[in-house]
Amino acid sequence: MATVAVDSLPINDTTRPDVADARTNRITALFLGVAIAAVALGILLGFLQALEHAGIDLYPYLKPIIHSYYQGLTLHGVLNALVWTTFFICGFLLYITVQAYRRPLTHPGLAEITFGLMVVGTVMAAIPMLLDEATVMFTFYPPLLAHWSFYLGLTLVVAGTWLVTLLVSLVHCAWRKEHPDERMPLPGMMSIATLAMWSIASSGIALEMIFFNLPLSLGVIPETSPIIARTLFWLTGHPIVYFWLLPAYISWYTLVPRQVGGKLFSDPMARVSFMLFLVLSSPIGLHHQFTDPGISSTWKLVHAFGTFAVFFPSLLTFFNVVASLENGGRARGGTGWIGWIFKLPWNDPTVTPQILAMLTFVFGGIGGLINASYSMNLVIHNTAWIVGHFHLTVGAAVTLTYMSLSYWVLPRTLGRKLWAPQLAMIQGWLWFFGMIIFSNALHRLGLLDMPRRTAIGMSPYVQEIATPVVQEWRAILPLVAIGGTILTISGVLYILICVMTAFFSRKVTVPNGALLFSEAQADASHAPRALDQWRPWVATAIVLILVAYGPTLLELIGTTSLNVPGRRVW
């Protein structure tokens, strides 16, 4: 195994001009700007929820704007889980695709229209949420009935992501014409696989919106079928997790190895894992509905198998990324079984938070397997455990990676220096420790049967039915507030650093140069040729979804009718 000197792996090729043109840079920065604005508000609302759990109720002071814990929780979920992630991903993947294929967008005007469409959609969804006309959580399970603008807005955002898929595919096609026999550049291939997976998987939510939620909210259909709508929702609702995660993996595979001074362990193994994610991410969503009556337990078990199948590319990723980190640590002079870990860069805000993110993801992944483990799910379904789980995954593994990436993407696209890198470093560590405390507390509360999505601080049963278990909750709940406070401080620092970097930091006049991705110890030359094709993988993904969902959906359509009226219960 060849080792490399750190100095031989700069992140920029200063001899070549940056391939991202001014328009791509601007569109990337705009997408990130909306993402950061969303997460700013989302984090502040999360702070209120964490305090509420510890008995500190600040909602009465917000009455004219936020009417209830649940309105705040809906905003928190939509802004963080949907807006922050989606906008960040679209900006980041457009940027990575352009850099990887070394050619500008074929239709930059379409990229700007896409951004405009997604902003319009977000505003259309945000207004009813802010007016307390859509207090339905980010899962909006019918028959809960929000204002039509909420559903239409979210639908437009999803439609925007399809246009992003089209944009990156066009870059690929243009490149392919010029390079008929070359292997796809790894980061570009990964970006397209991510967006292709998402575009197929989001058909579920699109069908739910178009055939159920929108017509119900507009009065076109008087009544709905909650079970069908819910099943379509989770057809998209599980793969959305991979839509959030895969861009982080792209960074861990193609940026981090070089940043830590090493090489990616295996390029072909990385390609295989992404094609498998494309194929396997969707046909496993029923594990979110293990406790639903109305769906046969046989199909639930089939989906449980699928969840274990997708564990395969997850482990491939884990081993590949860790071997790459080890390669970097050894190149920096680390020796022995664990000595290389200490040689990794532990004080670089563009890398370190991502290594911390990987750590949180190990625990998040193990928790996820428990959730998907059929009967084991009965212990934790809809308890605070789930909240702890997805704060470790999307809230830490994904969000820490995106935060760290924004410290890297914003300076590159705006031509400014990162403001206060030492503070950025502290921000990353604070988020990590805050999330460990917060999420650990929620996992324990979940094992003690504390329900999720509940204003537990004002709940009468906490006072009135003080079973021994409920008394244990009381002892743990303050930790939720402590973790939440640390997270809020970190979040405020993040926003501050982003704003200062974007508007006030020193301009960098020297061009950054072209972006260099990680080299691989085992490069693409021995990767199977099938990995350069798209059609068979996309077709397999669609077939597997039809097999996994077809019978269940057909049975539901045959046995249920549109007989449940929509309700506003807030």
Chain positions 98 to 157 lying near another protein, rule: CB under 8 A, are 135, 137, 141, 143-144
Binding residue (CB under 8 A) for another protein from 308, 342, 346, 503? 308
Question: What's the burial of 103, exposed, middle or buried (CB within 10 Å: 0-12/13-18/19+)?
Answer: middle
Write out the binding residues for another protein, residues 345-374 only, by CB under 8 A: 369, 373-374
How many chain residues bind another protein (CB under 8 A)? Answer: 83
CB of 373 to another protein, least distance (A): 5
Write out the binding residues for another protein, residues 489-548 only, by CB under 8 A: 521-522, 526
- Is 48 near another protein (CB under 8 A)? no
x-or-dash pattern for another protein, window 310-329, by CB under 8 A? Answer: -xxx-xx-xxx--x------
CB of 544 to another protein, least distance (A): 17
Q: Is 374 a catalytic residue?
A: no
Q: Is 151 a catalytic residue?
A: no
Kindly tell me which of 244 and 290 has the beta carbon lying closer to another protein: 290
Kindly tell me which of 240 and 470 has the beta carbon lying closer to another protein: 470
Buried b (16+ CB within 10 A) or exposed e, 366-390: ebbeebbbeeebeebbebbbbbbbb
CB of 68 to another protein, least distance (A): 5
User: Which one of the spans 205-213, 406-414, 479-487, 558-566 is the region binding another protein (CB under 8 A)?
Assistant: 558-566
CB of 378 to another protein, least distance (A): 4
Is 317 within 8 Å of 361 (Cβ atoms)?
A: no
Binding residue (CB under 8 A) for another protein from 9, 24, 41, 70? 70
What is the number of other CB atoms lying within 10 angstroms of the CB of residue 483? 22
- Catalytic residue (choose from 53, 288, 332, 391): 391
Q: What is the secondary structure of 231-291 as a DSSP string?
A: HHHHHHHTHHHHHHHHHHHHHHHHTHHHHTT--EEEHHHHHHHHHHHHHHSSTTGGGGGTT
Q: Which two tokens stand for residue 173?
A: 């096609």
User: Which one of the spans 69-77, 162-170, 394-402, 478-486 is the region binding another protein (CB under 8 A)?
Assistant: 69-77
Instruction: Map residue 136 onto helix, strand or coil.
Output: coil
- Residue 7 is given by DSSP the state G
Torsion-angle region of residue 516: left (phi > 0), alpha (psi -120 to 50) or beta? beta
Pairing of strands 264-266, 520-522: parallel
Cα–Cα distance list, 167 to 104, 174, 192, 251, 387 (Å): 11, 11, 10, 20, 34
- Catalytic residue (choose from 103, 176, 183, 453): 453
User: Which one of the spans 63-71, 209-217, 245-253, 529-537 is the region binding another protein (CB under 8 A)?
Assistant: 63-71
CB of 215 to another protein, least distance (A): 18
Instruction: Map residue 183 onto helix, strand or coil.
Output: coil
Kindly tell me which of 211 and 570 has the beta carbon lying closer to another protein: 570
Write out the binding residues for another protein, residues 440-469 only, by CB under 8 A: 449, 451-456, 458-461, 465, 467-469
Kindly tell me which of 248 and 304 has the beta carbon lying closer to another protein: 304
Cα–Cα distance measured from residue 394 to residue 387, given in angstroms and rounded to the nearest whole number: 10
Q: Is 312 a catalytic residue?
A: no
Kindly tell me which of 60 and 180 has the beta carbon lying closer to another protein: 60
Question: What's the burial of 464, exposed, middle or buried (CB within 10 Å: 0-12/13-18/19+)?
Answer: exposed
- Is 565 near another protein (CB under 8 A)? yes
CB of 50 to another protein, least distance (A): 16
CB of 342 to another protein, least distance (A): 23
Kindly tell me which of 526 and 535 has the beta carbon lying closer to another protein: 526
Q: Which two tokens stand for residue 455?
A: 């204003």
Residues in the chain: 570
Instruction: Map residue 69 onto helix, strand or coil.
Output: helix
Kindly tell me which of 124 and 144 has the beta carbon lying closer to another protein: 144
- Is 294 near another protein (CB under 8 A)? yes
CB of 114 to another protein, least distance (A): 32
Q: Which two tokens stand for residue 513?
A: 């140069």
Kindly tell me which of 21 and 555 has the beta carbon lying closer to another protein: 555
Q: Is 444 a catalytic residue?
A: no
In the block, tokens 């079984």 appear at 337
Show Cβ contacts of residue 412 under 8 Å, excluding neighbours closer than 6 positions.
18, 20, 25, 512, 515
Is 440 within 8 Å of 503 (Cβ atoms)?
A: no
Cα–Cα distance measured from residue 96 to residue 257, given in angstroms and rounded to the nearest whole number: 16
- Residue 461 is given by DSSP the state H
Kindly tell me which of 449 and 532 has the beta carbon lying closer to another protein: 449
- Residue 514 is given by DSSP the state E
CB of 81 to another protein, least distance (A): 15
Binding residue (CB under 8 A) for another protein from 148, 242, 290, 432? 290
Write out the binding residues for another protein, residues 377-406 only, by CB under 8 A: 377-379, 381-383
Q: Is 242 a catalytic residue?
A: yes
Write out the binding residues for another protein, residues 265-284 only, by CB under 8 A: 265-266, 268-269
- Is 63 near another protein (CB under 8 A)? no
Residues labelled catalytic: 238, 242, 389-391, 452-453
